[in-house]
Structure 1
Amino acid sequence: MNQIAVFASGNGSNFQSLIDAEKRGELQAQVKLLVTDRPDSYVVFRAKREGIPVFAFRPKEFENKSQYEKVIIQKLQEFQIDFIVLAGYMRIVGKDLLEAYPNRIINLHPSLLPAFPGKNAIEQAYLYGVKWTGVTVHFVDAGIDTGPILLQEVVEIRDEDTIETLEERIHQVEHQLLVKAVNLVFDPSYQFIERAK
């Protein structure tokens, strides 16, 4: 069975959606490890409740990104991790992790990339006044939300929406799309072709 590590920094609802899909037999992978840069975040509670090992670190305790990523890589190797899923991980992945897991890191982003990359994407789309936004799962490269797109799903921004109601609907789509994306990368018939730059 393919073994994945989920990286998350907050509430962990997408982490939970992967765990729940695995329990239902709907995930073509096993969640073996949670990696978080926020030891006090709710996702840690979720992982402990589900019996998933947690590697929590505080970036400020390291001299630089390379130093803590080398420690993360050691932990990933210890757990024989095949693939990394970023699900609300609020740090930019550095060179060390990218080189250790080339084309084996995907990220969940709450917009239709390339529109609204970076932080606060839901709020950005809402305030900009677009009629449609959505969810993207993409491969991670050295840029910020610039990697090749794996899956996308559109979410309408309704006239009556608030940022909170839009966020809630986007989260519902995220939970389903992330499971689909993980299954897709482990589907032997799937051939990933990198889009032209």
Structure 2
Amino acid sequence: MTSISIHPTVDSGYRATDASFSGGTLVCNCASNPVKVGIKGDIAHNHACGCTKYWKPEGAVFSVVAVAPTENVEVLENSDKLAVVDPSALIQRHACKECGVHMYGPVERDHPFKGLSFVHPERFEGKGWAAPGFAAFVSSIIESGYDPANMDAVRARLKEQGLEPYDCLNPALMDYIATWTAKNKGVLAV
């Protein structure tokens, strides 16, 4: 199974979660004047994601993405190098205009994830952040040209790495989205 590459963080078996991790600095890939984004506190819902909209390191089939409260995200250096990738998207992914790395992506519209920013934790300068815990939107890798005939092997590799594969988000997040939607429709009490 190890011949299938998911993402460098996953392939290396990253499991160095540190319960005392209290945040850090995300750094883009520029050799000089990199964009730096500070994150206060730990990240949540870290996962391998097959979505084609996220930034992936060279050769990665999946991205690794997590969330942090937007109020805990601050651009520290070189904000002038950032641009929103797709202004019409729900997640306003701010990428470095020079190296292309997505640094953070806040959700600002009315949505269950409003107030959260999506980040790529492998861009942290240090270690200790929460390890990926599941894989989401696995089938979406086909949309980027991945051979559908290899999907069973991809799912097996994800499971081998301890990442349950889903073709949506994990059940807890899907329940959260459905609950938020039901409350907004008045079907559930607020």
Same fold (TM over 0.5): no
TM-score normalised by the chain length of structure 2:
0.23
More strand by share: 2
